[in-house]
Structures are given as structure tokens and as C-alpha cells.
A and B are shown apart, each in its own frame.
Chain A
């Protein structure tokens, strides 16, 4: 069974940094493209970033470009999101999601709150 479990969220001050992790199990992690999607409180879904199977190809939403970095460790079956220069508008539940095109599997999400 596919399992995606996010961790690393919490409260951070504006301008601060946070690294999210997503532990993958139940499938061959290195064979699947991965994504981060976020959802601000009471709002809709917002795609954040995508990474190819090898990690060579990465893409970002304009709202996070230059501040967030997606990466993966295929040996450890982990997906990461390094978030720098955080802003209040980055406050959201962050989900890791498997797939390219459609996102067939999602983690349970982790809350990131940016506030002083």
C-alpha cells in the first residue's frame, strides 16, 4: 500500500526557513515523479513544485520560485521541500503527492504557519 507521510512543519517567523520531508513507502519511489501542493486555511489547492524521477528536472509555481527548493533522496525514499524567506501567505497545509499530470496519491498533509 502506498504511504506518504509529511513531517517538519510548524510555526516559523516571517523571513525564516523550514524544511519539509515526505517519507514514501509501498512503491518504488525512484520510479515516480513527485510534487508538493499546499492549501491555505479555508482556501483551495495550490500546486507548489514538481521534481522528476532523477531529480534533474524541477519546476516551481511563480509564488515560490527563488525561495523554495524541491529535492529527493531516492536511496532513502524521501522527498524534501526547503522553504526560505517565508511569508505570511505561505501559511498552509503542505501535501506531498505522487504523479506527473494527475496526483494519484497524497500524504495526510503538514501545517506550516508563518507568523510573528
Chain B
């Protein structure tokens, strides 16, 4: 049972827009930055969004992040086949004094 709650799966057709959520509490997402990672099959995670809404250099503008209260969202526009992957959110938790991840969302491109 992950501290941060993500939907197990989302799907969309090529070219469409999809969103996925990450819900926490006041001790984590409500007080600290949320970061998002993309994990392609058989590879290490890659930082996709940091500080709720910022993209590292090299990450396409099709990926965007937002946060309101204790919930964060990742949006992907212009869906491409290569976007099929697992997506994880992450934040700091003051109650646990450590970093926590969501359980991950599997994105399927139809």
C-alpha cells in the first residue's frame, strides 16, 4: 500500500491527451514538491517533472505537471507510442521522514 495513490492504469490513442493523478496528504504532497518519473520497460526511472511543474532539459513540452492541494497531476498531450511506460509520482513525507513514491500508473497507447 503506497503512501501516494495513483491509478493503476490509463490509456489513450496516439495524438490524444491523457492525465494521471497522484493523491497524498498534508504530510507529503500537501506540503512538499511532487516529482514525476517515467520508467520504460527494463530501464531505470527517468526524471520527467520536478517541483510540481518543471521539466528537465530534454523532456518534451508534451509533458506537464500541476498540483492543487494534496493532489498532483501529470498530463501528456500528443500521445506517442514511445510514451507507453510506467509513471511514478514522488514526494517527501514529514511523518515518515523520508521520500515516498506512488504505486505507479501504467500508460497504454492504444
By a beta-carbon cutoff of 8 Å, the part of chain A in contact with chain B is 35, 37, 44-47, 50, 59-62, 95, 101-109
Do B45 and A45 touch (CB < 8 A)?
yes
Instruction: Tell me the complex Cα distance, A37–B90, Å.
Output: 12
By a beta-carbon cutoff of 8 Å, the part of chain B in contact with chain A is 2, 32-33, 35, 37, 39, 43-47, 50-51, 56, 86, 88, 90, 92, 96-104
Which residues in B have their C-beta under 8 angstroms from that of A60? 98
Among the listed B2, B86, B98, which residue makes an inter-chain contact with A59, where contact means beta carbons less than 8 Å apart? B98
Which residues in B have their C-beta under 8 angstroms from that of A61? 96, 98
Do A102 and B45 touch (CB < 8 A)?
no
Do B50 and A59 touch (CB < 8 A)?
no
Q: How many A-B residue pairs have CB under 8 A?
A: 60
Instruction: Tell me the complex Cα distance, A47–B96, Å.
Output: 11
Known: A44-B2, A44-B88, A45-B37. Is A35-B99 also a contact (CB below 8 A)?
Answer: yes
Q: Which residue of A lies closest to B36 (CB)?
A: A102
Do A95 and B101 touch (CB < 8 A)?
no
Instruction: Tell me the complex Cα distance, A115–B101, Å.
Output: 26
Which residues in A have their C-beta under 8 angstroms from that of B88? 44-45
Known: A95-B45, A101-B92, A109-B44. Is A45-B33 also a contact (CB below 8 A)?
Answer: no
